[in-house]
A and B are shown apart, each in its own frame.
Chain A
Amino acid sequence: MRWTRILTAFLVLVLLQAGVASAQTVLRIGLNDDPDALDPTISRAYVGRLVFAAFCDKLFDVTPDLKIVPQLATGYEWTAGGRSVVIKLRPGVKFHDGEPFNAEAVRFNIERHLSTPGSFRKSEIGEIKSVDVVNDLTVRFNLAEPLVPLIAALTDRAGMMISPKAARELGDRFGTRPVCAGPFKFVERVAQGKIVGEKFADYWDKANVHVDRIEFVPIIDSTARLANLRSGDLDMIERVSPTDLAQVRSDPKLKVVSVPELGYQMLPLNLNNGPRGKVLGADPRLRQAIDLAIDRETIIKTVFNNEYIPGNQFVSPVSPFYNAKFPVKKRDVARARQLLREAGQPNLAFTLIVPPERDRQEAALVIQAMLAEAGITMTIQTQENVTMLTAGRKGDFEAYFTFWSGRPDPDGNIFTFTTCNGAQNDSKYCNHDIDGILTRARHEPDAAERKKLYDQTTEIMLRDLPRLILWHRRIFTGHTIRLQGFTPHPDGIIRLKGLKLS
């Protein structure tokens, strides 16, 4: 019959499509979300940074213990009392399109970060007023004010260097096919599908790149992502959920590594952002009572399988800037009740906005029960993430449940949240002393002196409590045992150099 003949022909065609056997090593990494535009100037999604690690090298990088090390730049020196910094560049570096990396390219990139409308890097390096090309391999940034965290900012997207020629050619479309100077060259991106890169033959550190091809596959569902790792369709997955750890750990073909994150999970409290600020903003004792009624350790044990780290400050307890004089307080319901009585509100009631995400919803329920024991009625209002963030900006909240992914420099974890005009200060907390201290800390190059200033900050923060820091997550990365050479970093970014896949 004609049918059978057609079917047979089709099957033969399929079977003949033998995949070409190649000696290429391919590393497949599963991403939790789909990255946005792959343009360092306008990219804002965290997951985009993982992809940039393959394509775009930066001026500097950070080690796992947050020391700044050279990458495209070889060194830096503060001059003119901190008002300018001279950066020496690595010789012999090429962009993926063959263009040379030099001081002129650095100037182009910094000016692009500063002048592009909608640039997300402006707030990170906005203090740079001008860039001078000293010679081909030396560049000088002139600042309005000294800014110690600037170098740390250059270890992330603000320090990523793109090819000026490609930027001019592609214009607005650069984010669809990035051309940088990293270990891998962009090959293709299937929209909302995988992103593919191949080893860059002229990479300046090519001896350390042992993988020929890299594929990033966004898979939103965590169960599906885990299944891919177990079946071998993925070699690595990032930010494994604590509840999936047991499965990964019990599989002999897989391995989990973890590192404490740079950021924190928090409840910003409305102190003075519109009329709703009256609920919790009236008296710091109300906020202290809420803080004392929460048992962070129990929540971490029950909701997160004891995998997270309790926190109360804007840096985690493993950070050198943590103020050891103020460890996380133990729960004290009696004292909480007393504070509420003193403040004249023994039956405090407020609303916490929580996005519909399992981790935060469960934690919120436990917090609700704990607060009830202290006489506090907390109502949980579920709002989708974007709606919640918008409400936060507008002051349409009393408390909401969010997080900050963290920055290598402590300034990045507090300045914009706590200064009177800070862009991320939804609480509208305003303490001019704090403004002064934090501004001095940004200008202070000596680490010991900075620590003293941040210690002062922490003491005030724990008294005023414009936001409740709850815990610091651990970043879990799961990978096949065939992968060697992986060292986790606190920012969660997978560095690809040194990785070997057997």
Chain B
Amino acid sequence: MTLPRYVGQRLVVLVPTLFFVSVMIFGLQQLLPGDAAVALAGEEHDPAVVAAIRQKYNLDRPVPVQYAIWIGKVVRGDFGESMRNRIPVAELLAAKLPVTVELAVCSMAIALLIGIPAGVIAAVKQGRPVAVAANVLALSGLSVPHFWLGIMLILLFAVHLGWLPASGYVAPWEDLRRNLATIALPSFVLGTGVGGVMMRHTRGAMVETLGADYVRTARSKSVTERMVVLKHALRNALIPVVTLGAIEFGRLLSGAVLTEQIFAIPGFGKMLVDGVFNRDYAVVQGVVLVSAALYVLLNLAGDVLAFLVNPRLRGTT
């Protein structure tokens, strides 16, 4: 099967997937207790105001009608408006996507920088203290709660040492240095978590490839151990790691709620949580739809990469 055909098939599946996701998230939000109009009205309980809000946002129409109105607009690119801020959701999504992407990319970079070497070491030096240490490092990255780690890092680097800002975000085109300073700690927090996962994947894949026939062949040809590990084993081990890494990256893109709260990063995660608490339906639906689409596309990208790198997946041409 050729690559274009493979990609085409997968893209076709994207449409029903997104449709299903849209129905799910719309339906789930309706299950949330509490009245959205009351949420917006807050302290002011003036019934006339609440009624006006209900009317403006179609909250008094039957649920299937509300869904139809919403999905009809989405298909035309109109994701509706945040009831709280009156800003179009599409605008909010466009503003926050670069932030979320940057945070995800930097976190992934740290995760790979930590995870892959740790995994290789753990696989190659199995049983030795170095491997145990690598394992512990990975597990602690997975188990330490993000909000705790985040606060600890803020206290150390911002309050006591004063090296980095405690929170906030500055766009890279505004001030690159400050942008990197603001993204450093949150990326590290997220990166250690994903790094743990990547380490485990790498270790597993490496152990498998190191036991393979072609590696034994290479060793018997007196190839140096370093070359065996890096050139022969790692390159093949990276195939499943890349695929899994794409999935992890997709998860990062749906926003890291707690980390964004602690570091006041205006990304998807924070927008999602605020949207749920404020019953800002359009915002939540918009974020979930976009995240789902990105996730599916990234999954596809991971598979395409695997397809390109591993000839065996291409089958007979």
Contact = CB atoms under 8 A, between A and B. Distances in A.
B35 A119 contact: no
Interface string B127-171: 000000000000000000001001100110011001001111100
B73 to A, nearest CB: 16
25 contacts: A13-B176, A15-B177, A44-B41, A122-B46, A172-B86, A192-B270, A192-B274, A193-B266, A217-B264, A224-B151, A227-B158, A227-B166, A231-B154, A231-B159, A231-B165, A234-B166, A384-B33, A384-B277, A386-B34, A386-B278, A386-B279, A389-B34, A390-B34, A404-B43, A423-B44
Given A44-B43, A227-B166, A175 B38 contact: no
Contacts of B61: none
Contacts, number: 159
Interface stretch (A33-41, A131-139, A430-438, A490-498): A33-41
Contacts of B150: 224
Contacts of A232: 162
B261 A233 contact: no
A119 B51 CA distance: 11
B58 interface: no
B52 A230 contact: no
By secondary structure, the A interface counts as loop
B178 interface: yes
B72 interface: no
Contacts of A120: 41, 44, 46, 49
Contact of B47 (A219, A221, A423): A423
Give the 8 A-B residue pairs with the shortest CB-CB distance, closest first.
Answer: A193-B266, A387-B34, A386-B34, A231-B158, A118-B52, A228-B166, A123-B46, A117-B52
Given A190-B266, A191-B271, A192-B266, 7 more contacts: A44-B42, A120-B41, A192-B270, A228-B168, A384-B34, A404-B43, A424-B44
A76 B95 CA distance: 45
A175 B147 CA distance: 32
Interface residues of A, number: 57
A19 B34 contact: no
Given A34-B274, A117-B52, A386-B39, A193 B264 contact: yes
Nearest to A44: B42
B87 A191 contact: yes
Contacts of A175: 85-86
A45 interface: yes
B159 A194 contact: no
Nearest to A232: B162
Contacts of B177: 14-15, 17-19
A318 interface: no
A119 B39 CA distance: 15
B271 A233 contact: no
A311 interface: no
Contacts of B86: 37, 39, 42, 172-173, 175-176
Contact of A117 (B56, B85, B266, B278): B56
Interface in A231-290: 231-234
B180 interface: yes
A333 to B, nearest CB: 34
Given A224-B166, A233-B167, A390-B33, A14 B180 contact: yes
Nearest to A35: B85
A218 interface: yes
Nearest to A119: B49
A66 to B, nearest CB: 20
B213 interface: no
B43 A192 contact: no
Nearest to A193: B266
Given A14-B176, A221-B261, A230 B159 contact: yes
A194 B169 CA distance: 9
Contacts of A44: 40-44
Contacts of B221: none
A191 B154 contact: no
Interface string B12-42: 0000000000000000000001110011111
A298 interface: no
Nearest to B55: A117
A220 interface: yes
B92 interface: yes
Interface string A138-166: 00000000000000000000000000000
